[in-house]
Amino acid sequence: MAINTDANHQIFSSYLKKEGLFDEVFDTNGKVKSIYTKLFDLYGEHSVEDYVHLNGKAKASFFNQGITFQVYGEKEAKEKIFPFDLFPRIIDATEWETIETGSIQRSKALNCFLWDVYHDKKIIKDKVVPLELLSSSSNYLHQMVGVDPPNGIYNHVSGIDIIKHSDGKYYVLEDNIRCPSGVSYVICNRTALKRALFGVFNHYQAHTVTNYAENLLKVLESVKPHGVDIPTCVVITPGMFNSAYYEHSYLAKAMGVELVEGRDLFVENDFVYMKTINGPKKVDVIYRRIDDLFMDPMEFNPNSTLGLPGLFAAYKKGNVCIANALGTGVADDKAIYTYMPEIIKYYLGEDPILSNVHTYHCSRPDELNYVLENVDKLVVKPVDEAGGYGISIGNKLTKKEIEVVKKQVKENPRKYVAQPILSLSVHPTYIEQKDSFEQRHIDLRTFTLLGKDKEFVLKGGLTRVALQEGNLIVNSSQGGGSKDTWVLKK
C-alpha cells in the first residue's frame, strides 16, 4: 500500500506500507499518525539530495566522535561505525509510563529473585521455580551463596528488550542483567540528530537522555560500602579490543571517573586500590564491564588476565561494591525468563505490567516435543547467548538447517528456548543503497537503574533497527542499526 499524504513529501514518495505489519508511523489507511504529523512534514520538506547531505553529516558526527563497536567473526574482529538512522522514533507519554513502570517492576522482582537464590531459596522451596533450572544454569555462581552485596542490590543496571507486536501491545523479549550495553549510543544518537537537524526539537517536547551518566553515578555512589563517606568509583573494562570499549570509555568520561583495567588496580589487606601518580588510592565502587569468570583469577578462571587477583575476597568482606553484582547472569538466563510472571507475583504480589512473549523451554518434555515438531514456525534461541548469536528463525531455514537445529536441541534441551515468530513493528528507515525510506523492523532496549532508595529509567532507550529487509534480528553485531528515541513529555 502506498502511503496517503496530501503534501508533496519527496523523500517518502516511494515508501510502501506492507499489509500485516504494524507500522509505527502510518495507520492502516496509510495516513500519518497524529504524533508523527509535524515530524513527517518537517522531514518531507527536504529533497532527496538534502537528505543525503544531512545523513552524511550524521555519519560524520559518529565518525568524528569515534563511535564504533567490534564485530567478532570466525577469524578476526572488525571495528565498525555504528549505523544510525536520522528519522527518529516517537513514544507518547502514556505508552512510556507503561514501559517505565513495567521496567522498574521487572528489575525489582529480579533483584529479589537474585537475593533469594543466593540465600534462602524460598522460591525453590515453594516450587515456583524448579531447582534443576537453577542448578543447571551455567551463570549461577555457587561462590556467591551467602554473600551480601552492599545495600542488597544485585542488578544496578538492567537492560530490558521490548518489542511492539502487530496487535499494538508491548512485550518483553528478554532481560539483560549481566552487562547490558548500548546506552552510550542512545546519547550519541541524540547528539548526532541535533547536529544534523537541530530545529526539529523546537516542535516536540521530548525528554532529555543526557542525564543518564549523572544518575548512574548517583546509583553507584548510593551503594558504597559501609563506613565510606565519599566513595571513589571506577569503570573496569577488558580493554580496547572489547566490542563495547567505546561505551566503557564514554561512561567513565561522562561520570568523571577513571576507566581502568585489572592491571591498574591491586588488592591489599582485602581492600582495592588504584595505582595513581600520587600513590595508591582506595577504590570503593567498581562498575564492571567484565564477565563474572574473568573478574578474579584467584576465585574463578585462573587463566584470566583481565580481572584483579583478590577482588572477590575484598567483595565478600564488604570492602568494595561491584556493579552489577557477580552471579547476576542467572537472572537473564532465557529459561528463567519463562518464569518471570510467576517471579513478579511471588516477590511483589503484583501482576506483570509488561507481558512476556510466550516461550517454550525445551527442558520440559511436552514443550520439547512441540518445538521439535514446529521448528519452522518458531524462533529457537540458546538460553545463554547475547548479541543475537545462535538464534534460528524457523521460516528462514531450509529443511536441512531445520534438521540441524532439531539435532542441537535434542542433544541439549536445557540450552534452548523457543518463541513464536513475532511480527515486530516496523518504522520508516532511510536505506542508503536506494536513497529512499523503507519499512524495517525495530525493538527497544530500556535502561533501568536500581540503587539504595533510588530507581531511574532513562526516558529514551535504544531503538534498534534490522537494516536488512524482512530481518527480525536487530542486534548491531548482526548488521543492525539504531534510531534516536523521543519520549514525549505530558
The rounded distance, in Å, linking the Cα atoms of 25 and 36 is: 6
Query: What would the pLDDT profile of 190-205 be if each residue is shown by its tens digit?
Result: 988 888 887 888 889 9
Q: Is residue 102 a part of any domain in this protein? A: yes
Query: What would the pLDDT profile of 99-140 be if each residue is shown by its tens digit?
Result: 999 999 999 999 999 999 999 999 999 999 999 888 888 889
Q: Are residues 291 and 403 in the same domain?
A: no
Query: What would the pLDDT profile of 470-485 be if each residue is shown by its tens digit?
Result: 777 777 666 678 999 9
pLDDT band at residue 78 using 50, 70 and 90 as cut-offs: low
- Residue 7 confidence (pLDDT): 52
Q: Are residues 149 and 281 in the same domain?
A: yes
How is residue 20 written as a grid cell? 500485516
List Cα–Cα distances, 339 to 120, 128, 236, 359, in angstroms: 18, 8, 32, 10
- Residue 318 confidence (pLDDT): 94
Q: Are residues 343 and 409 in the same domain?
A: no
Considering only residues 283 and 11, tell me which one the structure prediction assigns the higher pLDDT: 283
- Residue 211 structural domain: 94-348
- Domain end among 386, 420, 454: 420
Q: Are residues 276 and 370 in the same domain?
A: no
Query: What would the pLDDT profile of 369-388 be if each residue is shown by its tens digit?
Result: 999 999 998 989 988 776 66
Q: Which of 389, 478, 72 is nearest to 238 (CA)?
A: 72
pTM given for the model? 0.91
Q: Are residues 148 and 237 in the same domain?
A: yes
CB 55 within 8 A of CB 430: yes
- Residue 69 confidence (pLDDT): 65
24: exposed, middle or buried (C-beta count within 10 Å: 0-12, 13-18, 19+)? buried
CB 87 within 8 A of CB 428: yes
- Residue 393 confidence (pLDDT): 86
How is residue 21 written as a grid cell? 505489519
